[in-house]
């Protein structure tokens, strides 16, 4: 199984579609809010004194913790990009290349 970003976007989308989450047209505001929710859940784990690399498991085997919540953020992004045919891998590489040309702290004093 290929693990490129493009392949993972397709995989996240296909799994989401298989589980019924693409039966209706996606509302962009809701999609972004759900991505943000996963970040908030990562912050809640931090507030609950969980370590950055700490993973714990619910009785049903579900992984929890900061790494798991950050993974959920990425999976939601991948799902949306896969469903909307956004070439996330290409734009990530393009943005990283551009960011390497930016000045130190983007010329901001603080």
**Which pLDDT tens digit goes with each residue over 46-78?**
999 999 999 999 999 999 999 999 999 999 999
**Which pLDDT tens digit goes with each residue over 10-52?**
999 999 999 999 999 999 999 999 999 999 999 999 999 999 9
Among the listed residues 2, 21, 1, 4, the one whose alpha carbon sits nearest the alpha carbon of residue 83: 21
Q: What are phi and psi of 64, to 5 degrees?
A: -135, 165
Assessment of whether the complete model's pTM goes beyond 0.85? yes
Spell out the domains of the chain, with CATH numbers in brackets.
5-104 (1.10.287)
Residue 24 DSSP label: S
Q: How far apart (Å, rounded) are the C-alpha atoms in residues 66 and 73?
A: 11
The four Cα atoms 101, 81, 6, 51 give a dihedral, to 10 degrees, of 80
């Amino acid at each position: 199984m290929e693990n490129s970003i493009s392949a993972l976007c397709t995989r996240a989308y296909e799994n989401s579609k298989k589980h019924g989450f693409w039966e209706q047209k996606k509302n962009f505001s809701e999609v972004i809010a759900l991505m943000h929710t996963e970040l908030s859940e990562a912050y809640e784990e931090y507030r609950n004194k969980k370590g950055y690399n700490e993973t714990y498991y619910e009785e049903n085997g579900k992984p929890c913790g900061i790494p798991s919540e950050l993974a959920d953020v990425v999976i939601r992004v991948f799902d949306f990009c896969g469903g909307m045919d956004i070439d996330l891998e290409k734009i990530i590489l393009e943005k990283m290349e551009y960011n390497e040309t930016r000045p130190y702290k983007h010329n901001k004093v603080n």
